[in-house]
């Protein structure tokens, strides 16, 4: 669809974590397809310039909405107040702190667990029930290859992502045959503000626009699980099959 696409209220996408680089890239990809956009983030006023750009560029309706994934008590009201209700929900919310810091301070570990798992379950369960009742909709969760096997360098973050991946698998099983599509996305390294300054391997690192393109393609093809860079699927397959008595001796 061209940049002059007219928004269709029947196609409304909520992006949780809308201020992130990946979230903005997804907003542009969906805006180009005519989706009405709801970008949810903490300090949503930071999105004002992006909202203006999206509305002018794609001739769609777009708004920024305040949301704290960690404040689960506010989620029922947040979902109930969405107008219109989204037909597509994409979560790119997440938090990654230093493993050593999270080991020493449970508050940091808990923040990662909430941002990457429990807070998202709270939101997705509400949307899942609505979509199941209506018999249509799509839920997209951006997880991580870090959840494929626990490694000493990031096992608290990885365990939260593993929990989210398993949750999405169960949700997909629950909603199979109910008209609701559930997609799990595993990007691998992504060149974003969160990874700025890190020495990332070029061939294993995706740009936010690549993630957005992979997601929109996967939605249209009704895929279940995707690795944005296919090489990651092979890498993690190898890592998952290393015998435990060898794996526990590795410094990875």
Task: Name the percent of the chain in helix, strand, coil, to the closest 5.
Answer: 50, 20, 30
Concerning whether 155 is annotated as a catalytic residue, the answer is no
What is the rounded distance in angstroms from the CA atom of residue 217 to the CA atom of residue 213? 6
Catalytic residue among 19, 58, 117, 157: 157
- DSSP one-letter string for 38-85: EEEETTGGGGHHHHHHHHHHHT--EEEEE--TT-GGGHHHHHHT-SSP
Q: Are 28 and 47 in contact (CB under 8 A)?
A: no
Q: How many CB atoms lie within 10 A of CB 105?
A: 12
Greatest Cα pair distance, the chain, in angstroms, is 58
Q: Are 183 and 219 in contact (CB under 8 A)?
A: yes
What is the rounded distance in angstroms from the CA atom of residue 21 to the CA atom of residue 73? 27
What is the rounded distance in angstroms from the CA atom of residue 114 to the CA atom of residue 209? 26
Strand 205-206 vs strand 62-66: parallel, antiparallel, or unpaired? unpaired
What is the rounded distance in angstroms from the CA atom of residue 131 to the CA atom of residue 209? 28
Give the active site residues.
157
């Amino acid at each position: 669809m061209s940049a002059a696409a007219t928004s269709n209220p029947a196609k409304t996408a909520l992006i949780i974590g809308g201020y992130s680089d990946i979230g903005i890239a997804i907003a542009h990809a969906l805006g180009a397809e005519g989706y009405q956009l709801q970008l949810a983030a903490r300090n949503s006023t930071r999105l004002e310039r992006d909202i203006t750009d999206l509305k002018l560029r794609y001739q769609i309706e777009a708004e920024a909405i305040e949301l704290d994934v960690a404040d689960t008590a506010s989620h029922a009201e947040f979902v109930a107040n969405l107008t219109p209700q989204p037909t597509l929900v994409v979560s790119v919310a997440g938090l990654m702190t230093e493993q050593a810091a999270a080991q020493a301070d449970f508050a940091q570990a808990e923040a990662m667990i909430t941002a990457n798992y429990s807070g998202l379950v709270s939101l997705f369960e509400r949307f899942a029930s609505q979509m199941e009742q209506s018999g249509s909709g799509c839920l997209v969760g951006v997880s991580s290859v870090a959840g494929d096997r626990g490694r000493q360098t990031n096992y608290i973050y990885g365990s939260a992502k593993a929990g989210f991946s398993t949750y999405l698998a169960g949700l997909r099983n629950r909603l199979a045959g109910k008209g609701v599509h559930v997609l799990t996305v595993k990007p691998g390294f992504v060149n974003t503000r969160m990874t700025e300054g890190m020495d990332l391997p070029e061939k294993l690192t995706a740009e936010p626009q690549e993630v957005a393109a992979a997601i929109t393609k996967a939605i249209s093809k009704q895929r279940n699980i995707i690795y944005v860079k296919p090489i990651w699927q092979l890498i993690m397959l190898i890592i998952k099959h290393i015998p435990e008595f060898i794996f526990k001796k590795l410094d990875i």
